[in-house]
Amino acid sequence: MIYLDNAATTFKKPVNVIEAINHALTSYGNSGRGAHKASLDSGRMIYETREKISSFFGSSDPSKVIFTSNATEGLNIVLFGLFKSGDHVISTVTEHNSVLRPLYKMEKERGLSLDFVGIDECGRLKYNEFEEYIRPNTRAIVVNHISNVSGEIADIEYISKIAGANNLYLIVDASQSAGSIDIDMEKMGIDILCFTGHKALFGPGGTGGIVLNKDIMIDTFKVGGSGVQSFNKEQPGEYPTRLEAGTLNIMGIAGLGAGIDFINEVGIKNIHKKEMYLLKRLYEGTVDIEGIRYYMDCDELKKPSENIWHGSILSMNIEGIYSGDFADCLGQDYDIATRAGAHCAPLIHEAFKTKETGMVRFSFSYFNTEEEIDTAIKAIKEIVK
């Protein structure tokens, strides 16, 4: 199989990730639930992984790295734990349902008010709208770092200046960017980052987290066993225990830490450069197809691959071919995995006017090859013919 659905999850994992999970399965006990070697070793690994994540994202305090099962859980914890009745939040039409549905739920149940920054025909955010939407009761800006549909990268530094000048929290969904491009929370002005482990971080499913870069108190999302303060009737108030009730995904965290080790060894810039080379190769091999449309700023692809600033996503449609049929042909006839449809991001499809047709999304990994891209190009041309 040629796997070009890495924006959903990376299919090929580094060997060291597999080895780390196997080691955890055969060596670690329950962290914080005993003083024996298996428990202590587990606790050390988990703390070391917090340190790796904190350093990887340019945050200063490993205790403010909270493990979750994925970015969706992290975003739910943050959004439901921060906002109250009467608050106003600014977000964007590029958001995934992991942001939209919590916001809509709070709009309905808490009276939260919302505004969404739009995009232009290439998927670029209309940055002037951020300031236009600010109200006296605005609490935060929630933004998707890389769109999982268009691959457009948001200018976080620009948005953070607006947030900082207006005393707003900047909450970033890094599901597509974590592991693909450099993120430095301190330099970029990010207050809260939510990430998932199973995509560009090369970790296993069921991993993710929240990274706080300020002393922000988020209401507890769940309560229960913590391994400490057992006679306290309330969940301990200190991070990370405040938001980590119950046994952690020890094997998953071990794999996530190994994924970060792999990225640090290869170099995140080298990973991004290769992904952009593959993206550009697919674009150049298909651009002459009659009726093809790409949902990105294609001028970006005229640059050398090391200078392309884009997520590792190329979404397209071909006139006269429904996206689901297109992806089915690729999968059934050529064993090429892609993703068709709405990609859990309804507002951006409304903006692109692809609500009825959807799109076919090709997404790339460091482990994809030139030969795989060339095979995909040939397949696309044959399907169209």
How far is CA 307 from its chain centroid? Answer: 22
Q: Specify the amino acid at residue 44.
A: R
Residues 228, 32 contacting (CB under 8 angstroms): yes
Question: What is the tens place of the pLDDT at every residue in 136-159?
Answer: 999 999 999 999 999 999 999 999
Mean pLDDT of 95-108: 98
Point out the least confidently predicted range of 24-28, 38-42, 109-113.
38-42
pLDDT value at 35 more than 90: no
The pLDDT of residue 79 is: 98
pLDDT value at 318 more than 80: yes
pLDDT value at 337 more than 90: yes
Categorize the per-residue pLDDT at 332 as very low, low, confident or very high, splitting at 50, 70 and 90. Answer: very high
Q: Count Cβ atoms within 10 A of the Cβ of residue 269 and give its class: 0-12 exposed, 13-18 middle, 19 or more buried.
A: exposed
Mean pLDDT score across all residues of the chain: 95
Mean pLDDT of 179-192: 98
233 compared with 373, residue with greater pLDDT: 373
Tokens, residue 222: 């769940």
Rounded to 10°, the helix 15-27/250-266 angle is 150
The pLDDT of residue 223 is: 86
The pLDDT of residue 240 is: 94
Residues 85, 96 contacting (CB under 8 angstroms): no
pLDDT value at 31 more than 90: no
The pLDDT of residue 303 is: 94
The pLDDT of residue 226 is: 72
Categorize the per-residue pLDDT at 160 as very low, low, confident or very high, splitting at 50, 70 and 90. Answer: very high
The span from the CA of 337 to the CA of 317, in Å, is 16
Mean pLDDT of 197-225: 94
The pLDDT of residue 242 is: 92
Tokens, residue 46: 């988990």
Mean pLDDT of 101-105: 98
Question: What is the tens place of the pLDDT at every residue in 212-242?
Answer: 998 999 999 888 877 777 788 788 878 899 9
Tell me 82's DSSP state: H
pLDDT value at 246 more than 90: no
The pLDDT of residue 102 is: 98
Using omega within 30 degrees of 0 as the cis cutoff, is the peptide bond preceding 236 cis? Answer: no
Mean pLDDT of 304-322: 95
Domains of the chain and any CATH numbers? 15-265 (3.40.640.10), 267-384 (3.90.1150.10)
